[in-house]
Amino acid sequence: MILVFLKACIRVDNPEKITTSKQNTAQTPECALPKAELFKNITIDGVDYRQSQTNVGKYGGEINTSSVGEGPKTFNPWNSKDATSSMFGDLLFDGLISTDAYTGKEVPLLAKSFEISPDGKVYTIHLRHGVKWSDGQPITADDVTYTWNTIIAKGYGNTSARDNVLIEGKMPEVTKVDDYTVKFILPKPFAPFLRQLSVSIAPKHIVKPITDKGTAAFASFWSSNTPPEQFVTSGKFRLKLYIPAQRVELVRNKNYYEIDQKGQKLPYLDKYVVYIVGDLNNEVLKFEAKEIDILSLQGNNIARMKELEKKSDFTLYNLGPDTGTTFVVFNMNNRKDKKGKYYVEPKKQKWFDDINFRSAVDYAIDRESLVYNILNGAGAPLFTAEALPSIYLNQKLKNGHNQDVKKAKEFLKKSGFYWDKKGQLHDKAGNLVEFTLLTNAGNTEREATGVMVKQDLEDLGMKVNFKPLEFNVLVGKVVDTLDWDMVLIGLTGSALEPHGGRNVWASNGGLHMFNQRKPDDSTHDIYPWEKQLDNLFEQGASVVGFDKRKAYYDKYQEIVYNEKPLIYLYSPLRVYAVRNKFENLCPTRLGGVTHNIEELYIKDAK
Amino acid sequence: MPIYLYSLKRILQAIPLLFIVSLISFFIIRLSPVDPLAELKLNPSISPQTLQAEKQRLGLDLPLWKQYLKWSVSFAKGDMGVSTTGEKVSDKLMERIPNTLLLTITTIIVTWIFGIPLGIYAALHWRKPIDRFLTMLTSAGMAIPSFFYALLLLIFAVKTGWFPVGGLTSIGFEGFSPLHKIFDITHHLFLPVLVLFTISIAGLQRQMRGNLLDVLETDYVKLARAKGLPENQVIYKHALRNAINPMVTLLGFEFASLLSGAALTEYVFQYPGLGRLILEAVIKSDINLVMASLMIGAIMLILGNLLADILLSLVDPRVTSVR
């Protein structure tokens, strides 16, 4: 099974039709298939190294990548609030565990090993002996307890790290057993906790004087204008230089604790350069000018790059669908605001609360042609609440159903809807079915999707007023004022941990958009299946072990599939163009292109 | 009136003007339905507590007039506040201002070095083929949109590989020899400067040509010629000095656009200047950053005008006496 999974390294064959074309595995570029273990622990002279199991490479060369946007705001991983800053923070500071890029399982990184007690409450971490910070100080249990008990527990910097591990309002108890052993004791079993151990560990001897000064001092610590020499890090690369709005240069950490099979220290590459580019077009130009080595491709560029691939020095890698989901959602809120006014008009409430109505919409939408027309074929129809690459994806539901307008009409008839002579849809009480579909303006992909959804629904006789709104305004409506009918929007998910979706699915969640509850609502009624979802998320988090958890998350996807509070549409494919000069390259669905950056090498490096 | 008193008066006059500019810009930005926290709100892993804390940190929970008061008081004290991501606005601006100045000042120098002589040359060869040729070239320069032109040059850079695609320095820059550094920066600057040069030389050359032609038609030039002065002396001693006056005003305006004039070109070439920073700030509704840049723009404009007046009074004594 795992080997089948590995065929993530599939090359794009026909961008017009690709979905998850497994038939092209023959063309998979040479890829070091993982043996039984990707990494081994090996002790040499009292140092617990992590040993790479791939081909032995040679030193030298550089990799040039890019980041679209404004560049990192800070290199302090405990204070980063945007994806770019987090990416750099994670690169500079290792966490205790990391994710196996092939299976998605949790594997030790800075930790040598870890154990979980059978009741799921006690996590014991064994640290590597002899591993050092970049200033030569050893990395010990004190660093771990300090990171957890001070930086995270006391809410320095970005508090979302704390939000993620609070269990019924309580932090896990973190104690040092000896210099190389740490125990985490949870108030009750909480399975998503394990992934949270990937939080970067801080050097106590450097950061403690800062946290002693308070949160303000910590917030400006290791910010983007700190001289690179002042960083004391543990990651594969060290910061060499940051030129705002131009690039970040990282160099090999010569003391990193990973070695190859010959005992040479990894990483092989001397330099890792990340250009800061302002927009996607410039990124494409930089790739064509050979200034960067990796390019993430969007729908309309895939076909063009596929053409260029033949006579150029790069290969396209199709990593399958993204974790981003695009969906439409109806406002099923039947409550009044504090002024006594309904959020949604009562006649519309009856439609949106009606499962037949929602099913009709679900069956009327032609996802295949959305993928074909809007993503230029580089995407996959989506039916489940978990994204397609998720290891918790409900395999039975992933293929969904075809568009079926006849069936959609039957659903409507069942609930007493009827069509007048002009073909317009009316409800049982004779009201014309007319509502507004909102989406965020400026995103051409989403606007085009809105137009196509509108057409599909108009085939059912519904009158849809499609209105793209400024993103901020739309979000305000969806989370605050709640005065909307139908919204087309997207969320990013996780391929590894479904518990992150709790905010959407739990009935008191902050993003429970289809039935958002406010503290001063008139009533607090709840659908039986909403209650079921609440329970499933509770239970899914409290058992340990993938299979047990998966049963709960399979069930939640089934409920969402049947009740259709969110009607999922599609996910785009992730396609990357990567120059051929790198050896040991094996992009995977879960790990992306650079998951094994330390193992990459350049054959003809000087 | 002595120059310094005059300058002082002008600067004092500028204060209410800046106040009104800031008031209008602040309320227009704040009243537009843009929420700096919208992205956080749609992030499933952000808790309501975190959102509330962010709101307080950015002062978004205060009434609008209080927000303005807070901003204006600290701005008057010289503190431009922090951006939404917590960095000092003044630091962010200082990071970028030298780069933008490098680009715009280089452009101004190059434009003036070429523009003025070409204008004079064209005026002296009025209606000759060379004048018509220059007219055609400058018209083309005036007509071409800078955005499009910059894109064309960028594609040229990609196809030929002769120029880097954006940026200001190459990898390994800090280790280069001084000469190599200068070459590297020039290499990166060439295309953006070329765009700005093409656009602005058109106006400058035509202005200079027009001015000189006007002056050559005046009675005193005719008189000078009539009394038999050598042509060189007529032109360079009498005509040119008068023709250059309006150009000095133009230089004042160039000063005003030093920081903001190249924004579009900067964006296309991914030049690490102010333009890109401000554009990104506007999109994200980073109010302190946007306000700081608007205020700097206003101040530069006022100073530019003042500078032009002072320069003019230096080259042309009539200006102050009339006033």
Provide the pLDDT for residue B43. Answer: 67
First to last CA, chain A: 40
Ramachandran angles phi, psi of B282, nearest 5°: -65, -45
Does the distance separating the beta carbons of A244 and B96 come in below 8 Å? yes
> What is the three-class DSSP state of A594?
coil
Confidence tier at A282 by pLDDT (50, 70, 90): confident
- Mean pLDDT: which of A27-31, A593-597, B231-235 is highest? A593-597
Which residues does chain A have within 8 Å of residue B154's beta carbon, measured at their own beta carbons?
A: 285
From the list B44, B96, B161, the residue facing A491 with the nearest CB is: B44
Quote the DSSP letter at residue A253: -
Percent of chain A past pLDDT 70, that is, above it, reads: 93
Distance (Å, whole) CA B313 – CA B319: 5
Contact A278 B267 (CB under 8 A): yes
- Looking at residues A289-316, what average pLDDT do you find? 88
- Contact present, A171 and A153 (Cβ < 8 Å): yes
CA–CA gap between residue A287 and residue A291 (Å, rounded) = 6
User: Which pLDDT band, with edges at 50, 70 and 90, does A36 fall under?
Assistant: low
**Region of poorest pLDDT, from A565-569, B182-186, B240-244:** B240-244
Within A118-159, residue ranges assigned H as helices are 141-146
Q: State the average pLDDT for chain B.
A: 84
Yes or no, beta carbons of A503 and B45 under 8 Å apart? yes
pLDDT (0 to 100) of residue B228: 85
Contacts of A253 (CB under 8 A, 6+ apart): A134, A233, A235, A236, A237, A238, A267
- Please judge whether A290 and B167 are an interchain contact, meaning their C-beta atoms are less than 8 angstroms apart: no
Q: Which residues of B touch A (CB under 8 A)?
A: 33-35, 38-39, 41-42, 44-51, 53, 85-87, 91, 95-96, 154-155, 157-158, 161, 164-169, 171, 174, 267, 270, 272-273, 276-277, 280, 285
A484-525 pLDDT per residue, tens: 999 999 988 888 989 888 889 988 888 899 998 887 776 668
Distance of alpha carbon A421 from the chain centroid: 48
Read off the tokens for B171: 């990898």
- B236 CA: distance to closest CA in chain A (Å): 47
Within 13 A of A490's CA, how many CA atoms are on the CB side?
Answer: 19
Mutation target among B163, B270, B282 for the A interface, most CBs of A within 10 A? B270
pLDDT at B38 over 90: no
Q: What is the pLDDT of residues A85-107, one digit of tens each?
A: 889 998 999 999 999 888 888 99
Interchain pair A243, B161: CB under 8 A:
no
pLDDT for residue B64: 84
What is the arithmetic mean of pLDDT over A221-242? 90
CA-closest candidate to residue A438, choices A457, A462, A466: A466
CA B107/CA B205 separation, integer angstroms: 14
The reply to whether residue B46 touches residue A163, judged by beta carbons under 8 angstroms, is: yes
> What pLDDT score does A125 carry?
95
Instruction: Report how far residue A447's alpha carbon sits from residue A374's, in angstroms, rounded to the nearest whole number.
Output: 10
> Chain A closest CA to B169's CA: distance in Å?
8
Q: With contact defined as beta carbons under 8 Å apart, do A483 and A447 qualify?
A: no
Higher pLDDT, A204 or A71: A204
Q: Is the pLDDT of residue B1 over 80?
A: no
Give the per-residue pLDDT at B20: 92
- Across A11-35, average pLDDT: 40
Is the Cβ–Cβ distance between A502 and A394 less than 8 Å? no
- The number of residues making up chain A comes to 606
3-state SS assignment for residue A38:
coil
For residue A23, the model assigns a pLDDT of 31
What count of Cα atoms within 13 Å lies in the side-chain half-sphere of residue A435? 27
Task: Write the pLDDT tens digit of every residue in A464-489.
Answer: 999 998 887 888 888 888 999 999 99
Q: Name the phi and psi angles at A404, rounded to 5.
A: -150, 90
Of A64, A73, A471, the CB nearest to B85: A73
Among the partner-chain residues B33, B46, B96, the one whose CB lies closest to the CB of A470 is B33
Asked if A119 contacts A189 with a C-beta cutoff of 8 angstroms, the reply is yes
Question: Is the Cβ pair A285, B164 closer than 8 Å?
Answer: no
Residues of A in contact with B49 (CB under 8 A): 159, 163
Q: Is the peptide bond before A267 cis (omega within 30 degrees of 0)?
A: yes
Chain A contacts of B285, Cβ < 8 Å?
472
Asked if A455 and A335 count as a contact pair (C-beta separation under 8 A), the reply is: no
Residue B191 distance to chain A (closest CA, Å): 15
Residue of A nearest to B163 (CA): A289
Write a three-state SS string for A421-485: CCCCEECCCCCECEEEEEEECCCHHHHHHHHHHHHHHHCCCCEEEEEEECHHHHHHHHHHHCCCC
Residue A4 has pLDDT above 80, yes or no: no
Q: How many other β-carbons are positioned within 10 Å of the β-carbon of residue A179?
A: 12
Question: Phi-psi bin for B190: left (phi > 0), alpha (psi -120 to 50), beta?
Answer: alpha
Q: What is the pLDDT of residue A17?
A: 36
**What secondary structure does DSSP assign to A410-422, as a single string?**
HHHHHTT-EE-TT
- B296 in the Ramachandran plot: left (φ > 0), alpha (ψ -120 to 50) or beta? alpha
Q: Please tell me what DSSP assigns to residue A254.
A: T
Q: Which two tokens stand for residue A546?
A: 């993938």
Cβ contact A225–B95 (<8 Å): yes
Mutate to test the interface with A, among B47, B156, B265 (most CBs of A within 10 A): B47
pLDDT on residue B33: 65
Cα(A524)–Cα(A535) distance, integer angstroms: 17
CA distances from A120 to A96, A186, A187, A193 (A): 18, 8, 10, 10
pLDDT over threshold 80, residue B32: no
Tell whether the model's pLDDT for residue A435 goes beyond 90. yes
Please determine, for residue B142, whether its predicted confidence score (pLDDT) is greater than 90: no
**How many Å apart are CA A79 and CA A60, to the nearest integer?**
33
For residue A15, pLDDT beyond 70: no
- Tell me the pLDDT band of A29, cut-offs 50, 70 and 90: very low
Give contacts of B277 with chain A, Cβ < 8 Å: 70, 245
- Asked whether residue A35 carries a pLDDT value surpassing 70, the answer given is no
CA atoms within 13 A on the CB side of A121: 6
pLDDT at position A559: 95
Q: What percent of chain A has pLDDT above 90? A: 56
Q: How far is CA A505 from CA A479, A510, A553, B251, in A?
A: 14, 9, 12, 62
Percent of chain B with pLDDT over 90: 16
Q: Six-digit token pair at A172?
A: 């896990």
Point out the residue among A223, A224, A246 whose CB comes nearest to the CB of B169: A246
Rounded to the nearest angstrom, the minimum Cα separation between B90 and chain A is 13
Residues of A in contact with B157 (CB under 8 A): 289
What is the interface size between A and B, counted as CB pairs within 8 Å?
120
Q: How are beta strands A39-44 and A47-52 bridged, if at all?
A: antiparallel
Q: Which amino acid is at B323?
A: R
Residue from A64, A88, A154, A243 whose CB has the most chain B CBs within 10 Å, to mutate: A243
Distance CA A380, CA A508 (A): 31
Q: Do B87 and A223 touch (CB under 8 A)?
A: yes
Residue B183: its pLDDT value, please?
A: 93
- The residue in chain B having the minimum alpha-carbon distance to the alpha carbon of residue A163 is B47
Here the tokens at position A375 are 């993503």
Band (A34; pLDDT cuts 50, 70, 90):
low
SS3 per-residue string spanning chain B: CCHHHHHHHHHHHHHHHHHHHHHHHHHHHHHCCCCCCHHHHCCCCCCHHHHHHHHHHCCCCCCHHHHHHHHHHHHHCCCCCECCCCCEHHHHHHHHHHHHHHHHHHHHHHHHHHHHHHHHHHHHCCCCHHHHHHHHHHHHHHHCCHHHHHHHHHHHHHHHCCCCCCCCCCCCHHHCCHHHHHHHHHHHHHHHHHHHHHHHHHHHHHHHHHHHHHHHCCHHHHHHHHCCCCHHHHHHHHHHHHHCHHHHHHHHHHHHCCCCCCHHHHHHCCCCCHHHHHHHHHHCCCHHHHHHHHHHHHHHHHHHHHHHHHHHHHHCCHHHHHC
* Rounded average pLDDT over B114-138: 90
Mean pLDDT (chain A, rounded): 87
Which one of B60, B82, B85 makes the best mutation probe of the A interface by having the most chain A beta carbons within 10 Å?
A: B85
Q: How far apart are the first and last CA of chain B?
A: 9
Does A564 or B250 have the greater pLDDT score?
A564
List the Cα angle B267/B272/B277 in 5-degree steps: 70
Spell out which residues of chain A touch residue B273, defining contact as CB-CB under 8 Å. Answer: 245
User: A19 vs A252, which has greater pLDDT?
Assistant: A252
Q: Is A184 in a helix, a strand, or coil?
A: strand
Judged by CB atoms closer than 8 Å, whether chains meet at B157 and A289 is answered as yes
What local confidence, expressed as pLDDT, does residue A522 receive?
64
pLDDT at residue A6 in the model: 34
- The radius of gyration of chain B's CA atoms, rounded to the nearest angstrom, is 25
d(CA A495, nearest CA chain B) in Å: 14
Residue % of chain B over a pLDDT of 70: 95
Alpha carbon A90 to its chain's center: 15
Residue A204, pLDDT above cutoff 80:
yes
pLDDT of residue A464: 94
Determine the distance from the C-alpha atom of residue B183 to the mean position of all C-alpha atoms in its chain, rounded to a whole number.
Answer: 24
Q: Comparing C-alpha atoms, which of B262, B257, B264, B261 is closest to residue B300?
A: B257
Question: In chain B, which residues have their Cβ closer than 8 Å to the Cβ of A501?
Answer: 44
Q: Is the pLDDT of residue B108 over 80?
A: yes
pLDDT in tens, B68-107: 888 888 888 888 888 777 778 888 888 888 999 999 999 9
pLDDT tens, residue by residue, B264-291 = 888 888 888 888 888 888 877 788 888 8
